Structures are given as C-alpha cells and as structure tokens.
Amino acid sequence: MKVHVLFLLIHYFNGVQAGLEDQIIELDQLTFTGCANYILDTVPYTTQFMDWAVFCRDMNALSSLVGCFESIGRNELYMYGYLFEECASENLVLDESNITNAANHLLIDGVPAEFIRKDTPSENVKRPVIVNGTVAMLFVLGQQQYDKMYSDSTWYGIGALGYWLSVCLVGAIANWSVIIFPSLRFKLNGTIAKSWRKYITLPALAKKSQSRLKTIGLIGMLLPSRIETIVSVLFFVLLVVFSAAGINPYKNNPNFALNEFTLTKYVGDRAAHLCIFLVPLLLLFGGRNNFLIWLTRWKFSTFVAYHRWIGRWVVLLAIVHGCSYSSLFNMTNTYGSRVATSFIQWGITGIVAGSLVLFQGLLFLRRRWYEFFLITHIVLVFVFVFSAYQHTEDLGFSGVLYASFAIWGFDRFVRLARLVVFGFPMAEISLQDDKIRVTIPKPAHWTAVPGGHAWIHFGDKAWFWQSHPFCCIADETNLTFYCKVQKGITAKFQKKLQSHPEKSFKIRVGVEGPYGKSNPIKHHSDVVFIAGGNGFPGIFSELEQLLKALDSKQRLQFNWIVKDVDSFNMMAEHINRLSIARIEFNVYITQKSSPGPKSLDSPCEEDAFAEKKSISQGSIPQEEFPSVNFYFGRPDLMETVQSNIEDCSTGVAFVCCGPTAMIDDLRYFVVSNIDKTNKRVDFYDTLEIWA
C-alpha cells in the first residue's frame, strides 16, 4: 500500500511539475508573441491567422518586429531567441545579420502604421511600419496575462484534487478518531454533534430514499445519501467557479480583434486542465483497492457514487473543451486542416468515448446487463484515457496520465494477487431453497473480515471471468456463502442442482478478498443487530466476533426477520456454534405456511403487520434452541429502535443488513430518534449497492 502511494505521488509530482514548467513562458517568447500580435493585428502582412512564420520570410514584417522590440526597449539579441527557434523549425534560418539588416531597412523605409490601410491586399504591403511603443507594451502585457491564466489553470486543477483530499481527510479524522479514541464518541454527543449527525451525515437524501431506485422517465438512478449529495454538489459549485476564475481577457488587453478568440480559448484551456487533473482521481475512486477506502473507512459504494459524479463532470469538461476549440477552428477557418491532424483526432475520439460512457453507465443498463455494462465500461474508459494521453503527450501532461494508468494497473494487479494468495480450491455448491450455498475450504493464512465480503469467480467455462460479491461466514476451516438465485450464474447453478441426484457438486473457485470492514461497535454498552432474510450472513460474523470477546458489560440483541422456519434451519449450524444463551436472540417468522419461492428481497411486504406473539408450534425448533425467542409476524421496527434506545445504558449501535426497504426504514427510525435521548445512538448498515 505504501509503495502504491509513493509511486502515485512521484508520478503525480512529475506530471504537475512538467505542466508548470511548460507554462512558465520566457520573456523572449512573451515579447515576440505580444509584438507579433500587434503588428499582424495592424498591418495585413499575411492573410492566414496566427501565421507567425511571416516574420521568418518577409523582410518588411521582420523590420516592423525589430522596431516593436526597439520601441519597448527590448531590442537585445537574446530577445530574438524564441523567433530564431521558431524560424529554424520552419527551415527559415535567421541570425544576427538579419536583425541588423531589418533595423537598417526600417530606418530607411519605415512608415507609421497608420499609413497602411487595413484592407490592403497582403502582397501589396511592401514597407515596414513604425509601431507605437505604448500600445506595443500593452500587447505584451496582454500576452502575459493570457499566459498567467494558462499556468493558473494548473493550480485550479490541483485545487480540484485538493478538494477531494480535504474531504477524505475530514472523513478519515472523523472515522479513525472513534476507532483510536472510543470514548470520544460518547463525549461528542451534544446538541450540535447530534444535529450534525441527524441532519447531515446519517440520513438519506430525502426521508427514506437512500437505497431505493428513483426513476425520472427512462433514467433511473440510485440516490446518494445526504452527505454524499452535499459533497458532490459542493464539488460541482467549485468546478463552476474554477472554470471561470481569472478568465477576463478584456482587461488591459488592447488586442481587441483577438478578444472573442482569446475568451473562447481561455474557457477551453481551463476546462481541459480541470478535466485532465481529475482523470487519475476518477480511476482511483472506481477501484476496489483504493487506498482511500482504507484511509477514510467509507464504503466502496460511497466511492462508486463519487466516481459516478466526478465522471460526469470530467466528460462534461472534455465536451466544453471540444466545443470551444471547434468554435476556435471555425473562427479561424481552419476546421478542415485541424481535424486532419492526429492530435485533434485523438481529442475527438476521447470525447466520443467519454460521452458514450455517460449513456452506457445508466443504471437501467447496469441493472439489466451488468456484465455487458462492465466490459463496455472498461473498453470505453480505456479509449478515453488513452486518447487523452495521445492528445496531451506533447503538452506536458503525460505524468498525470501515467498516474492514471498506474492506479488502474495497480488495482488490477492487487486483485490478481489476492486471487493467487487465496489459491484456487474446490468449492462445494449446494441448493438450499432459493439460495445457492457455496462452501470453500479456507487457507490457514487467510483471515476473513467480519462484516466484510469477498468476490467469487466460479471455474465455469462461460463464467470464470465474472466475479460476484457476497458476504461470507467464516469458521476455522471453511468460508460459507449464501447466494440468492438471480438471473446469471446463480440461475445456471440452480438448474444444474435441481437435476442433480445429490443436490450438490464441486467446482473450482477463485476468491478475491477480503474486502470491507467491521463496524466500530466494540465500545457501545448495547448492540442491536437486525437482519432481514438474506442479510443474515452479512452481520452474523460481526455478532460472532463480539460474542467471542463478550464481557458482562455489553448487552447484545440479535433480531432476524425471516421468511419461514426452513430458512432458519438452514443457518442452524452457524447459530449452534455460538453460545447464544448469553444474548437476546429473536427470530421473526413472517410466513406461516407454504414457503413458496417468493423473493426475499422484500420480506417486509410479505404480509400485513402481524401481532408480535411468542409461539411454540411443532415446526419451530424451540427445543433445539431453547434460548431463541421465536415470533410470528414481522416486528415493529420503530418500536424495536425506540425500546432499545430507552433500555440501553450509555449508548446503542444498530447494525443492519437486509432488504433495501428495511434498511431505509431503520435508518429513518434511528435518525428520527437520535436527538430524543442523551445516550449515544449509532447506525451502521452493511448494504452496498452500486448496480
């Protein structure tokens, strides 16, 4: 990890330094560009726009230029360095004698600039002109202003990165301080801290909408949480400000003919700078092995949410850049010749690829064809970054793009390394109701993260390249995953198993992990777990971890809302392992009979609110689990939250995993009760959704 960061920083530093060096324009270039602009703006020596080579071939133009240098006191040989270089690159070599000759020519033939009418055909301009020194100086200063704007753009690019760095640092401090100083959380529980958490960091964007799909016409989207929204909106405002800051070409710039041109160029250049500096960050945020996940302790899904928003702005900035340069080429009638260059073609390719990502990444497509989305996403993003690299190679940005590829390559490398470290063991696949159970022997050197997850590759000819994330339950020898049957590989396994006599088979698997982290719940006086249906494996390991270290001080409650008794029995072996007599273990069975293959995604909608009553029917394994409280019907979650807040001694943490609707409800109930007590109330969910 450290090497990774170092590597990145070095690349980044190189890129930034090259960017800055490129923009510190020397005085000779500045003087030449200012005078050349002035002369060509006043006297039509050439019909082509910005045809600076005219000073290398036309004696009259060169004489006027020498006069301009003289008029502002810069007629020294080293001031011609830039001109000599430019001419040499056009194979029109100039030297000191040309300058001396030109100065003499001006003395003999020079006329004030006003003597030559602006509409004179260029081939008829046969004399050098004497320019006004005051105006010439203004042109040079105008040029200086433009160059400053250009080099400032690099700083605005760095500033945009600085924003994210600061946000991540604030997150890191907030989340690590409760790990390192557990008591801090209980001290920081005043009105302000509570309001901050109630209104800013904990809630969904609006009421209960966090993890539910919102649809506006054809465009469905996952709503970010409130804090994610605030961070993203602030970033957008910052980008708008950075896109416009310091862009005022009119000030002091006498080069009025160029003003429209300059303004357009400023806007286009600034957009390009901001865009390119965000690319490495964009790739970093999209990767599973992003060191910022470790630093900030945010969920991967939070980074994916930011990844999506940054991506939108990056493409938008690229489009702004493309549009402004298109209009520049139009203004100068050079569209055709510019588009013929590979430089511009790479730029266009990048913008097209980037724009396609905006559409192919729509939630609609991610949901329906996840793997298709993933492959096209990778290909298009590669085309985008590679085109950006080709397009900016000569402009001093290659370091930034090397960093982008380094970040990407590093993520892929770590993913491969994790697979190799786990080895490729044979897993046992079996069918349990609507779930595929995957049992994988665990290598001794590999430790699972309670509350974390791992990505599984199944060694199937058609599917091995796909990896799917699942929460796991680990014991000393095995990892057990419970995968709900969906439309992809899980459906294929289900079909295979249904016809299988033993209802189980073996297959080679790759496991990439562990990812995720445990929640900081060791120091709460009370911890309440709430699992809905398939959410059981998501929090069971955390319960197990707490139980192992349980002292008499901590009170644990585990609530599991489950479809039927069979679903409970499937997990019996895991529950058996624990000394659950020491805790309050509640099981809510929501379906009384006929356990049909109904979706577990929404157990809360399966039946109307049933009264909570303790029962002991024959089908319930009450004797086997004497300490488990079985109930029929679903619990009143608001009541569960309120009574636990009331009953806890100093603070309670709610840890939840389950259907999205249940998590959203729970979050809402916790948020609405957080300021009704003096005790500390925390909420953690193990839900991560990005597709």
Ligand X SMILES: *[C@@H]1O[C@H](CO)[C@@H](O)[C@H](O)[C@H]1NC(C)=O
Ligand Y SMILES: Cc1cc2nc3c(=O)[nH]c(=O)nc-3n(C[C@H](O)[C@H](O)[C@H](O)COP(=O)(O)OP(=O)(O)OC[C@H]3O[C@@H](n4cnc5c(N)ncnc54)[C@H](O)[C@@H]3O)c2cc1C
How many residues lie near ligand Y (CB under 6 A)?
22
> Of these, 7, 261, 291, 370, which contacts ligand Y (CB under 6 A)?
370
* Closest among 17, 691, 613 to 373, alpha carbons compared: 691
Please state, as a whole number, how many other Cβ atoms lie within 10 Å of the Cβ of residue 499: 7
Q: Give which of ligand Y, ligand X, none residue 470 binds (C-beta under 5 to 8 Å, depending on kind).
A: ligand Y
Work out whether 73 is an interface residue with ligand Y (CB under 6 A). Answer: no
Work out whether 468 is an interface residue with ligand Y (CB under 6 A). Answer: yes
Interface stretch with ligand X, choices 92-100, 621-629, 641-649, 659-667 (CB under 6 A): 92-100
Please state, as a whole number, how many other Cβ atoms lie within 10 Å of the Cβ of residue 599: 15
Three-class SS state of 510? strand
Q: Which is nearer to ligand Y, 322 or 469 (CB)?
A: 469
> Of these, 487, 495, 548, 676, which contacts ligand Y (CB under 6 A)?
487
Q: Which is nearer to ligand X, 133 or 520 (CB)?
A: 133
We find the least distance from the C-beta atom of residue 198 to ligand Y, in angstroms, to be 27
Q: Give which of ligand Y, ligand X, none residue 127 binds (C-beta under 5 to 8 Å, depending on kind).
A: none
> Of these, 484, 496, 517, 592, which contacts ligand Y (CB under 6 A)?
484
We find the least distance from the C-beta atom of residue 374 to ligand Y, in angstroms, to be 7
Contact string 532-571 vs ligand Y (x = CB under 6 A): --x--xx---------------------------------
Q: Give which of ligand X, ligand Y, none residue 487 binds (C-beta under 5 to 8 Å, depending on kind).
A: ligand Y
Work out whether 489 is an interface residue with ligand Y (CB under 6 A). Answer: yes
Q: For residue 661, how many C-alpha atoms fall within 13 Å in the half-sphere facing its CB?
A: 8
Query: Is the Cβ–Cβ distance between 450 and 517 less than 8 Å?
Result: no
- 523-554 burial: b if 16+ Cβ within 10 Å, else e: bbbbbbbbbbbbbbbbbbbbbbbbbeeeeeeb
Catalogue the long-range contacts made by 669-674 (C-beta closer than 8 Å, 24 or more residues apart): 669/637, 669/638, 669/641, 669/642, 670/202, 670/641, 671/198, 671/202, 671/203, 673/641, 673/642, 673/645, 674/194, 674/197, 674/198, 674/202
Please state, as a whole number, how many other Cβ atoms lie within 10 Å of the Cβ of residue 268: 19
Residues ≥6 apart with Cβ < 8 Å to 260: 331
- 366-394 burial: b if 16+ Cβ within 10 Å, else e: beeebeebeebbeebbebbbbbbbbbbee
Work out whether 438 is an interface residue with ligand Y (CB under 6 A). Answer: no
Q: Give which of ligand X, ligand Y, none residue 477 binds (C-beta under 5 to 8 Å, depending on kind).
A: ligand X
Work out whether 477 is an interface residue with ligand X (CB under 6 A). Answer: yes
> Of these, 89, 214, 488, 579, which contacts ligand Y (CB under 6 A)?
488
Work out whether 482 is an interface residue with ligand Y (CB under 6 A). Answer: yes
Q: Give which of ligand Y, ligand X, none residue 211 binds (C-beta under 5 to 8 Å, depending on kind).
A: none
- 80-102 burial: b if 16+ Cβ within 10 Å, else e: bebbbebbeeeeeebeeebbeeb
Work out whether 134 is an interface residue with ligand X (CB under 6 A). Answer: yes
Dihedral sign (CA 74, 75, 78, 82): positive
| Rounded Cα distance, 9 and 7, in Å | 6
We find the least distance from the C-beta atom of residue 651 to ligand X, in angstroms, to be 35
Interface stretch with ligand X, choices 67-75, 474-482, 596-604, 665-673 (CB under 6 A): 474-482
We find the least distance from the C-beta atom of residue 666 to ligand X, in angstroms, to be 32
We find the least distance from the C-beta atom of residue 316 to ligand X, in angstroms, to be 42
Work out whether 98 is an interface residue with ligand X (CB under 6 A). Answer: yes
Interface stretch with ligand Y, choices 148-156, 418-426, 484-492, 494-502 (CB under 6 A): 484-492
Interface stretch with ligand Y, choices 158-166, 327-335, 408-416, 531-539 (CB under 6 A): 531-539
We find the least distance from the C-beta atom of residue 488 to ligand Y, in angstroms, to be 2
* Closest among 299, 305, 226 to 664, alpha carbons compared: 226
We find the least distance from the C-beta atom of residue 477 to ligand X, in angstroms, to be 4
Residues ≥6 apart with Cβ < 8 Å to 393: none
Work out whether 355 is an interface residue with ligand X (CB under 6 A). Answer: no
Burial (0-12, 13-18, 19+ Cβ within 10 Å), 461 = exposed
Residues ≥6 apart with Cβ < 8 Å to 588: 559, 560, 561, 562, 612, 631, 632, 633, 634, 635
| Rounded Cα distance, 42 and 665, in Å | 72
Q: Give which of ligand X, ligand Y, none residue 380 binds (C-beta under 5 to 8 Å, depending on kind).
A: none
Work out whether 691 is an interface residue with ligand Y (CB under 6 A). Answer: yes
Q: Which is nearer to ligand Y, 170 or 219 (CB)?
A: 219
Work out whether 470 is an interface residue with ligand Y (CB under 6 A). Answer: yes
Q: Which is nearer to ligand X, 466 or 478 (CB)?
A: 478
Phi, psi at residue 316, to the nearest 5°? -60, -45
SS3 for 319-343 is: HHHHHHHHHHHHHCCCHHHHHCCHH
Q: Give which of ligand Y, ligand X, none residue 453 binds (C-beta under 5 to 8 Å, depending on kind).
A: ligand Y
End-to-end CA distance of the chain: 28
Interface stretch with ligand X, choices 127-135, 176-184, 613-621, 631-639 (CB under 6 A): 127-135
Q: Which is nearer to ligand X, 428 or 636 (CB)?
A: 428
Work out whether 453 is an interface residue with ligand Y (CB under 6 A). Answer: yes
| Rounded Cα distance, 125 and 570, in Å | 94
> Of these, 22, 70, 147, 475, which contacts ligand X (CB under 6 A)?
475
| Rounded Cα distance, 275 and 202, in Å | 31
| Rounded Cα distance, 376 and 382, in Å | 10
Query: Is the Cβ–Cβ distance between 278 and 243 less than 8 Å?
Result: no
Work out whether 135 is an interface residue with ligand X (CB under 6 A). Answer: yes
- 573-584 burial: b if 16+ Cβ within 10 Å, else e: ebbeebebeebe
Work out whether 428 is an interface residue with ligand X (CB under 6 A). Answer: yes
Query: Is the Cβ–Cβ distance between 631 and 609 less than 8 Å?
Result: no
Q: Give which of ligand X, ligand Y, none residue 132 binds (C-beta under 5 to 8 Å, depending on kind).
A: ligand X
Residues ≥6 apart with Cβ < 8 Å to 382: none
Work out whether 432 is an interface residue with ligand X (CB under 6 A). Answer: no
Q: Which is nearer to ligand Y, 411 or 688 (CB)?
A: 688
> Of these, 122, 132, 229, 326, which contacts ligand X (CB under 6 A)?
132
Q: Give which of ligand Y, ligand X, none residue 552 binds (C-beta under 5 to 8 Å, depending on kind).
A: none
Residues ≥6 apart with Cβ < 8 Å to 550: 556, 582, 583
Q: Give which of ligand X, ligand Y, none residue 370 binds (C-beta under 5 to 8 Å, depending on kind).
A: ligand Y
Query: Cα-atom radius of gyration of the chain, to the nearest Å?
Result: 34
Work out whether 39 is an interface residue with ligand X (CB under 6 A). Answer: no
Interface residues toward ligand Y, by CB under 6 A: 367, 370, 453, 467-471, 482-484, 486-491, 534, 537-538, 688, 691
Interface residues toward ligand X, by CB under 6 A: 57, 59, 62, 94, 97-98, 132, 134-135, 428, 439, 475, 477-478
